[in-house]
Amino acid sequence: MRVMKFGGGCLGNSADLLRAAALTKGPTTVVVVSALGGVTDTLVQILDRTARRNRFPLGLFRNLSQRHRDCMQALTSRQGQTQNGFNRIDQLLKGLEQLLRGISCIGEVPPSIRARVLSYGEELSCVLMCAALETRNVPATACDARHCGITADRPGTNARIDLTRTRRKLRRNLPPLIKSGRMPVITGFFGRAPDGTTALFGRNASDYTAGAVACALDARELVIWKGVDGIMTMDPAYGGDARSIERLTWEEVKELTHFGADILHPLTLDPLENSRTRVRVRNFRKPGLAGTEISSATKDNTDKICGITCHPGSTMLQLAATPGKLHRLLARLEEIPGVPSARITSLVTARDRITLLMPSADARSVRRALAASIDPTIRLLNSRDDRTLVAVVGQALHHARGLAQLMDALATAGITLEGITPGGAAASVCLVVPGNQAGRCLQAIHKRFFPPAPPAPPCIAKGDQP
């Protein structure tokens, strides 16, 4: 059994859908799909305009509709079959339009309705993928995640998958479909909440859905197709000689994704914690490349780091407590409205002070909450915006030599180091630097631990040898 997940960056048009269909050949495969590239962003834009202006943005909706109809037209013209796919696309688009027009009348969007609207992108993509598979004479069935068994633990737009219920339902619903010779194509990103509404698992969460499906079916392999060669040693957007990583452990990937590497959803590997499923991240445009393999096995390269990532757009807040009352400070912060919901990226304590690093948008809410609080035991000492958290992950950081190399690279590049703390379970170190030094910081670390390959020696003709 093999599970394949195709992200929105892979699915842009009918040609991409046909390419994805070709990649599913081989062993028994279950497919998980995201919305077509950019569709979720478009739905968010339509939704926000509709609610804010109490007007339905007809132009945006028509462009979205036409894009999916054009894809279906290209696919059905190749397969020369019935209009079932067209009918389903039209049915979905009509349901979406009715929902949006209702929102324009009331001018507000409850979380459950927002989740329902955003789920349409995956539903449309799922129907198109089935049509693409049909062109290759592969019978396929579009499986709505809510109906086939993907169960959320709560309603809303930031739920998690209930792995116990999901495993039970998928193992009941999917095997009969597979045995009948049909390939299941499952919508990623969302599932069914306990109250029967649609629940989202966060942006880019189709990876997470694929991990849950692979776990439920005891899949031998989970292949996640992306638009890059695998998980990279650093974000190529920051320059440098970024390269794909051949092999990573579960803990290393979790650490990289937690601290900003957006190649995978941070929860993707959680369902596979104790499984034997092999996970690969591969390039959709270059299927001949092996990509990055992720496994639970430990590696021998204990003297190296595996990757560098960063979390830009952060704010560092330093708070002070009454001397000897630091433990009370943490408890009191939980009681101030607006603070517990902040996404804290890093936390460091020292004597009577605590330093928090969080996204700048959350920091603004926390500052307002602290200013409105009358608690005399908490004082905001300083706040620094435009900070970047840089995480360096690898076994080399267990040793003094690795840490010395890291510090020397920063000093040589003239990086202002404003904070340093250990990371999570995997060997990692988190650094806080000014935002305008982030690119230089990543490049300096990368150059130290991933030096450019030496140039190949010149080729000497046999007759020229002495």
Q: What is the pLDDT of residues 212-247, one digit of tens each?
A: 999 999 999 999 999 889 999 999 888 778 999 999
Would the CA dihedral through 121, 123, 124, 127 be positive or negative? positive
Taking the CA of residue 132 as centre, how many other CA atoms within 13 Å lie in the half-sphere pointing to its CB? 25
Element (H, E) at 279: strand 278-283
Query: Which residues face 292 on adjacent strands?
Result: 281
Q: How far is CA 138 from the centre of its chain?
A: 29
> Which of 31, 50, 39, 29 is CA-nearest to residue 8?
39
- The CB density around residue 99, as the number of other CB atoms within 10 Å, is 15
Can you tell me the distance from the alpha carbon of 34 to that of 123, in angstroms, rounded to the nearest whole number?
Answer: 9
pLDDT tens-digit series, residues 388-435: 999 999 888 878 888 899 999 999 999 999 988 887 666 789 999 999
The class of domain 307-449 in CATH terms is: alpha beta
Query: Which residues face 185 on adjacent strands?
Result: 31, 142
Can you tell me the distance from the alpha carbon of 103 to that of 99, in angstroms, rounded to the nearest whole number?
Answer: 6
Question: How confident is the prediction along the chain (466 residues), in pLDDT tens digits per residue?
Answer: 999 999 999 999 999 999 999 999 877 899 999 999 999 999 999 998 988 877 889 999 999 999 999 999 999 876 555 578 889 999 999 999 999 999 988 888 889 999 999 999 999 999 999 999 999 999 999 999 999 999 999 999 989 999 999 999 999 999 999 999 999 999 999 999 999 999 999 988 999 999 999 999 999 999 999 988 999 999 988 877 899 999 998 889 988 988 888 889 989 999 998 888 999 999 999 999 999 999 876 665 556 889 999 989 999 988 887 666 666 666 666 666 656 566 778 777 777 788 888 888 888 888 877 777 666 667 788 899 999 999 999 888 878 888 899 999 999 999 999 988 887 666 789 999 999 999 999 999 999 999 876 665 665 555 545 4
**Both tokens of residue 90?**
């039209």
Domain boundaries, given as residue ranges, for the chain: 2-226, 307-449
The 10 Å CB-count burial string (b at 16+, else e) for 111-143 is: ebbbbbbbbbbbbbbbbbbbbbbbbeebebbbb
List Cα–Cα distances, 382 to 97, 141, 356, in angstroms. Answer: 48, 57, 11
Look at the domain 2-226 and name its fold. Answer: Carbamate kinase (3.40.1160)
What is the pTM assigned to this prediction?
0.87
**Both tokens of residue 442?**
């990543």
